[in-house]
Amino acid sequence: MNSPSHIVFLDRGTLPVVMRAPALPLQWRDHESTLPEQVVERLAHAEVAISNKVPLMAVSLAQLPKLKLIAVAATGTNNVDLDYCREHGIAVSNVSGYSTDSVAEHVFALLLALRRQVHSYHADILAGEWQRSAHFALLSHPLHDLHGSTLGIFGYGHIGQAVARIAAAFGMKLLVAEHKNAPAIRAGRVPFEQMLEEADAVTLHCPLTPQTRNLIGEPELRRMKPAAILLNLARGGVVDEAALAQALREKRIAGAGVDVLVNEPPRAGNPLLEAAGPNCIVTPHVAWASRQSLARLAEEIAFNIEAFYKGEARNRIV
């Protein structure tokens, strides 16, 4: 007797929100997390695999003849061997745009915390500095307005554009950077190097590709103003972490706000965790994860799976 077919979510723990099962005659199975060596066993009877970050590479996919669809529970699909899927008729879908507002707002949570010295003042109060002050206001750290300052944006997709709209509401000036080493500059953009030199804060919103790996390294950090802030809410590999940590220690830039690291979680440590403090805020890859974004992501995954079984190419990558 044949075993029933399944929908299997390999890393359900990455989506901590109520999720409805698609309206299909398939059994649903959740796994909090899945190691690469567990993939084949757990997907043995699956027609649909849901994965956020679990790798689904050719060596595993070749052993899964029942698999019809990989529903990626994210925008990025670098954890899936797309070439193998194309060659062997496995459909792949993803979800884009669900976290645009969440990430854009997180940019300004980090930027405001750094510009308004939130961590430093909070630490002063815990240490009793305000309580001992001779004056009504404790002015031990300089504060800076966003209004009138210049924000440089690298990566002008949905998130970059949402960041630009919020920045405009704060009264910031905008510099949208062209690709690094671009032979021509598109209308409305400025050369990458000019953006680095003129911006009071630089925010990154690009995918990690061979062209963007270590986009910001020591030479780029030296181009930035000593009072500038660097924000990375893209991917860890876009920034040379050791170079950034050194720049912060030497006060060559004023601060950094980082939501992504090269290795996540950073079990073996990380230069930016060692540098973390009032001028370096690290959050654990949560910019995308507002409750509203998680709910949209969960619903989109279900819609993608249902569409596949209706013969509709919804959010299809392959």
Contact 172, 151 (CB under 8 A): yes
Q: Is 31 a catalytic residue?
A: no
Task: Point out the catalytic residue in the list 32, 87, 264, 312.
Answer: 264
Other beta carbons within 10 Å of 48: 27
Q: Can you give the length of the chain in residues?
A: 318
What three-state secondary structure class fits 232?
A: strand
For residue 265, say if its preceding peptide bond is cis, omega within 30 degrees of 0: yes
Task: Point out the catalytic residue in the list 285, 299, 306, 316.
Answer: 285
Closest CA to 275 of 254, 252, 246, 253: 246
Closest CA to 104 of 275, 240, 292: 292
Task: Point out the catalytic residue in the list 179, 235, 241, 300.
Answer: 235
Q: Is 235 a catalytic residue?
A: yes
Contact 114, 257 (CB under 8 A): yes
Burial status of residue 92 (CB atoms within 10 A of its CB: 0-12, 13-18, 19 or more) = buried
Report the phi/psi class of residue 128: left, alpha or beta, with left for phi > 0 and alpha for psi in -120 to 50: left
Give Rg (Cα) of the chain: 22
Q: Is 299 a catalytic residue?
A: no
Active site residues: 235, 264, 285
